[in-house]
Amino acid sequence: MATATAQVVASIHLPRSQASNASTCNHSLMISCSNVQRMSSSSIPLNLVSRRNALASVFQSAIYFQLGSQFNTSLAETSNAFREYIDVFDGYLFSYPKNWIQVRGAGADIFFRDPFVLDENLSVELSSPSSSRYKSVEDLGPPQMAAEKVLKQYLTEFMSTRLGVRRESNVLSTSSRVADDGKLYYEVEVNIKSYANNNELAVMPQDRIPRLEWNRRYLSVLGVENSRLYELRLQTPENVFLEEEKDLRQVMNSFRVIKAVS
């Protein structure tokens, strides 16, 4: 992975209106701090290569314009274990473990997961640009109030129609911080446990014994930019949290919201 003097590669996320064209070509548009990554001329027509290189140059200029010298330092000094993901159209960036894979069609704006620990993943959720007019993350209230809203949203998403399913949840911690971009971010950690009866159709209560289905830690980072609320979500099983905590915290600390390129 890159040191401060090595090359840094950032994934550029195309808007949904262009996604179908990009997927047809089946090639990711990649940029680096020093040059544009070129695909093999034998696999892509020359006119398409030059067009993509031109687009990459535009995106690169936009990123430098948005982040200035911070882009040079924060991205170049990423450790060997991480890569950068930058969405200049929706307006956010973060680092993610380089062995994690992107999953498309997961419902979030972007979704990565650990290929080995399948319950460990990250995603980014955005409020609607047409219906939200956020000025600051403080519009959610203090961090504790924001945490209650985050937890309520998780529980709503995890609602089940199965008989005998029960969820236990609690807020573990809340905090706020001003990052090096001068913006205020909230951080929230919650735990949710899911229980289900081993014999949900049993008539007698003693035959319906609840068992633990899963026990997970959820970590969220909330920020506001472009009049939208952004939420970076991390999910991990509690039994591996301590082992993975350092990397997960690095992902959290790397999350930034930026001016979107229109």
Residue 59 CA to residue 71 CA, distance in Å, equals 13
Residue 180: name the closest of 57, 36, 74, 21 by CA. 74
Residue 128 confidence (pLDDT):
93
Residue 193 has pLDDT above 80, yes or no: yes
CB contact at 8 A, 251 and 94:
yes
Residue 175 CA to residue 204 CA, distance in Å, equals 46
Strands 9-12 and 82-87: parallel
Task: Look up residue 179 and give its amino acid.
Answer: A
The position carrying tokens 């200035």 is 68
Residue 169 CA to residue 203 CA, distance in Å, equals 28
Residue 162 confidence (pLDDT):
81
* Average pLDDT score over residue span 132-156: 97
DSSP 85-117: EEETTTTEEEEEETT-EE-TTSSSSEEEE-SSS
> Which domains are delineated in the chain?
1-80 (no CATH), 100-262 (3.40.1000.10)
Task: Look up residue 219 and give its amino acid.
Answer: L
Residue 15 CA to residue 165 CA, distance in Å, equals 39
Residue 248 CA to residue 86 CA, distance in Å, equals 18
- The pair phi, psi for residue 253, each rounded to 5°, is -70, -20
Instruction: Give pLDDT tens digits for 114-139.
Output: 999 999 999 999 999 988 899 999 99
Q: What's the DSSP call for residue 140?
A: G
* Average pLDDT score over residue span 90-115: 95
